[in-house]
Structure 1
């Protein structure tokens, strides 16, 4: 608890863990009692979220330990690695649910107590919206793990909205005497929603793999870096500059090479250190931990 108080990101993730645990128990019990495959799927998804959220807390704690002899560049790679694991697990669950739903449809559907299902969907949608908005606010200035958690909750909220619409349709069909058609609503919604929801883990997987593979960061971050490096290049009249960067968790790895000629305003070690300080000050507002190497050469082949 003391550690989570020191790190708001961890506290936000723990809130997600506790809410997911309570939500999972209620969903599974409710779904089994009324015979809804979709609500059971919602509960299983929440149970998976509990384990993955705990893994995210552990990864965040590990990443914040910083560099040492074993991890000379830091442990931030644990953050995107956890996002990849989360994406694979949730994607697998969605595929499993999709296959099961198709089987139910082929067997003639499933009878569900639609009135109780509608009540569940209303409560689930409200709870999911509150938690996702809370995590989005925390993630705006926090780690990628919190933003990934917020995306997961928002996806779950959209799922609950789909559940609400579907069960409302089933209730109407029952009331107007089309119970046979209503039997297809529950497995039909599982198939549609699990297929649509695959977007969330797919997006998380792509973003996590980019960082695990140390690819360049998203265009918005890259452009901010290039703009600041160009400013320094012009200010000190360097012949050229070369920027290489990648984002790993909450850390930006940056290598900047300046080509120096006779017209450049920085020509010695002290002046080069002044350039480094200017770069540090310009990049500080980006809000990431930075591992930065700045080099200077009179021969551009050493910068390529």
Structure 2
């Protein structure tokens, strides 16, 4: 009898995401509390940023459960399976795109507030509390990023990859805050104390400018998946395999349609059979489909391969 996987199993995509959500909720709570105590808007932003990241991780976890349940035909209601007979892969790029867009939006909003605060003369804050928060958060973010990155070498999940990127961004944000808070603490009681009100909004503005571009590549890829933009590398591979198959079996031609939707690879191949080709049994046609499937490769729950043989080219257009 097999044991049930641990809830925070780091060898499983869902276990990694659960771990990430739990740690993120703790850090976001600390950020909001310490931000209110110290009077630092940059720390509050850090907490809110983490809270949004946790919300997106929860949504990602839900989508992963749907995709996995559909792929293994387990734990999914018959009604839901009938409603989504093509699977749930299309949800993955939607969630990734939403995640990246929200992170960009939050950073832009914080940048506007930081610039506004600078123009108004900055804000005073308690640097001691701010330094304590920054040290704890940097250590936590760096640790979970390394743990997830190591786990994802085997898992290969786009969700986990984006989550690691989010942890690295959070660690970078907080490290910049830590440096700034240390400078602010050091200038207290000196002739440079006048700069301390500007430290919090200034470092927040700099951090926002640095992190705004980071999710852009994820959003771009998500939009490409949503709009079914043909991945050039996969299309070239399928064309090579199909052309070799046509020449080997003396077929007239072929049509290939390829798309990437999240983790899935959707491939449709139509082979045009000459009108004078000899008749074949169903078993022989299925053997040819098996042959082309092995040649294309990537067999698994995330490959959707359709192979059609027809004598009418219009069926392939």
TM-score by length of 2: 0.81
Q: Does 1:54 align with 2:70?
A: no
Once the two structures are overlaid, the 10-residue window that deviates more, 71-80 or 1-10, is 1-10
2:200 equivalent in structure 1: 186
Give yes or no for the alignment of 1:26 onto 2:30: yes
Is the 8 Å Cα contact of residues 234 and 258 (structure 2) preserved in structure 1? no
User: What's the CA shift for 1:271?
Assistant: 4.2
Instruction: Provide closer, same or farther for how the CA distance between residues 273 and 94 of structure 1 changes in structure 2, counting only shifts above 3 A.
Output: same
Classify the secondary structure of the residue corresponding to 1:65.
helix
- Classify 1:191/1:274 alpha carbon distance in 2 versus 1 (closer, same or farther; 3 Å): same
Deviation larger for 221-230 or 138-147 = 221-230
2:172 to 152, 158, 165: 158
Deviations for 1:95-128, whole angstroms, at most 9, x for unmatched residues? Answer: 2211211111111112233354344333322221
Query: Residue 199 of structure 1 aligns to a residue in which SS?
Result: coil
State whether residues 110 and 186 of structure 1, in contact with CA within 8 Å, keep that contact through their aligned partners in structure 2.
yes
Q: Please tell me whether the aligned partners of residues 64 and 75 of structure 1 are also in contact (alpha carbons under 8 angstroms).
A: no
**1:226 and 1:91, CA in 2 relative to 1: closer, same or farther beyond 3 A?**
same
Q: 2:84 aligns with which of 48, 54, 71?
A: 71
Contact preservation (8 Å) 2:37, 2:129: no
Give distance in 1, aligned partners of 2:94 and 2:173. 26
Is residue 2:93 matched to residue 1:89?
A: no
Which residue is 2:219 aligned to?
Answer: 205
Further displaced range: 128-137 or 163-172: 163-172
Q: How big is the shift at 1:20?
A: 0.3
Q: Answer yes or no: is the 8 Å Cα contact 1:10–1:60 preserved in 2.
A: yes
Contact between 1:129 and 1:157, CA under 8 Å: does it hold in 2? yes
Residue 38 in structure 1 maps to residue 45 in structure 2: no
How far has the Cα of 1:178 moved from its partner?
0.9
* TM superposition shift of 1:28: 1.5
* Aligned CA distance change for structure 1 residues 278 and 38 (closer, same or farther; 3 Å): same
* Equivalences for residues 102-181 of structure 1 within 5 A: 102-140=115-153, 141-174=155-188, 177-181=191-195
For structure 1, the 5+ residue unaligned runs are none
User: Contact 1:232–1:275 (CA<8 Å) still a contact in 2?
Assistant: no
TM-score (norm 1): 0.84
> Is the contact made by 2:30 and 2:133 (CA closer than 8 Å) also made in structure 1?
no
